[in-house]
């Protein structure tokens, strides 16, 4: 078991023998779940750090009408909802359901706090995980705050290209890019063509080439 725990981002870098010692003096539980069994329900309190050590779960968001929308799949080994263990709101925002037979390690909040104080590696790991998440979300919001599609495209290219790269590889089809931008596919196609006609860029399947950096920047400023 410790081999798998050790692979989890939270515990990464802690030698196996140290890990065993830490776990010996700590309360924790391991639960098993069958396919489609609920691991934690939306709205339930997150009192423990949950680490998926084996299997795969999905997060589903129940909407007002009671229907559900799948948010993401999480495969072992990874923590589940680490940002909801602390903070003002400890309610789990999604239903977490096992996709396949799954094992989850539960470490109660207080026990985990002790762990954080005993072991610098785990502390920095955890701080890095939730800080990175914040940073990721900040970036996402900055991106969403661009109103027009042209601005979003410009910003997207700017971030991928850095200061001097001329051609970027998106790794996404127009369909996927459109979904990423939150617009309809024909709208993206149209706008890309417009920008091409204006000599700003050129597209070629999953590659975009910048033709006029000056004009591109003006779209963002």
Partner DNA sequence: GTTTTTTTGTAACATATGTTACAATTTCGT
Partner DNA sequence: ACGAAATTGTAACATATGTTACAAAAAAAC
State in angstroms the smallest separation of the CB of 132 from a copy of itself.
4
Helix (H, G, I), strand (E, B) or coil at 67: coil
Which of a copy of itself, DNA, none is residue 156 near (CB under 5 to 8 Å by kind)?
none
State in angstroms the smallest separation of the CB of 143 from a copy of itself.
10
DSSP secondary structure code for residue 83 in this structure: G
Segment lying near DNA (by CB under 7 A), choices 27-35, 67-75, 132-140, 178-186? 178-186
76 neighbors 4 (Cβ within 8 angstroms): yes
- Closest to 165 (Cα-Cα) out of 102, 208, 217: 208
30 or 123, CB closer to a copy of itself? 123
Helix (H) or strand (E) holding 171: none
Which member of 17, 66, 205, 221 binds DNA (CB under 7 A)?
205
State in angstroms the smallest separation of the CB of 68 from DNA.
21
Radius of gyration of the chain (CA): 22
In the block, residue with structure tokens 């996927």: 176
Alpha helices, DSSP H, located in the chain:
2-7, 16-24, 109-118, 120-144, 149-161, 174-181, 185-197, 213-220
Residue 209 interacting with DNA (CB under 7 A): no
Which of a copy of itself, DNA, none is residue 36 near (CB under 5 to 8 Å by kind)?
none
- Closest to 220 (Cα-Cα) out of 202, 203, 200: 200
Which of a copy of itself, DNA, none is residue 26 near (CB under 5 to 8 Å by kind)?
none
CA distance 218 to 221: 5
DSSP secondary structure code for residue 64 in this structure: T
Residues of this chain that interact with a copy of itself (CB under 8 A) are 63-65, 67, 83-89, 93, 113, 116-118, 120, 123-124, 127-128, 130-135, 137-138, 140-141, 144-145, 147, 158, 182, 217-218, 220-221
State in angstroms the smallest separation of the CB of 145 from a copy of itself.
8
Segment lying near DNA (by CB under 7 A), choices 52-60, 69-77, 145-153, 161-169? 145-153
- Closest to 54 (Cα-Cα) out of 23, 29, 72, 77: 77
DSSP secondary structure code for residue 91 in this structure: B
Residue 104 interacting with DNA (CB under 7 A): no
Judged by the rule CB under 7 A, the positions of this chain that interact with DNA are 147-150, 173-175, 182-187, 189-193, 203, 205-206
């Amino acid at each position: 078991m410790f081999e798998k725990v050790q692979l989890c981002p939270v515990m990464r870098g802690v030698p196996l023998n140290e890990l065993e010692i830490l776990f010996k003096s700590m309360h924790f539980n391991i639960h098993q779940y069958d396919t489609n069994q609920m691991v934690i329900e939306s709205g339930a309190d997150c009192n423990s750090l949950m680490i998926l050590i084996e299997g795969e779960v999905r997060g589903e968001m129940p909407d007002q009408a009671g229907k559900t929308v799948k948010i993401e799949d999480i495969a072992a080994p990874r923590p589940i909802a680490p940002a909801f263990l602390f903070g003002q709101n400890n309610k789990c925002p999604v239903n977490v359901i096992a996709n396949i037979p799954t094992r989850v390690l539960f470490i109660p909040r207080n026990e985990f706090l002790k762990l954080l104080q005993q072991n610098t590696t785990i502390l920095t790991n955890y701080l890095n995980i939730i800080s990175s998440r914040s940073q990721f979300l900040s970036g996402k919001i900055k991106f969403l705050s661009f109103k027009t599609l042209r601005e979003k495209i410009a910003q997207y290219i700017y971030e991928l290209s850095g200061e001097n790269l001329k051609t970027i590889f998106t790794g996404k089809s127009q369909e996927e890019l459109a979904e990423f931008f939150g617009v309809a596919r024909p709208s993206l196609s149209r706008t890309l063509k417009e920008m091409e006609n204006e000599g700003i860029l050129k597209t070629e399947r999953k590659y975009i080439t910048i033709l006029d950096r000056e004009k591109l920047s003006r779209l963002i400023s």
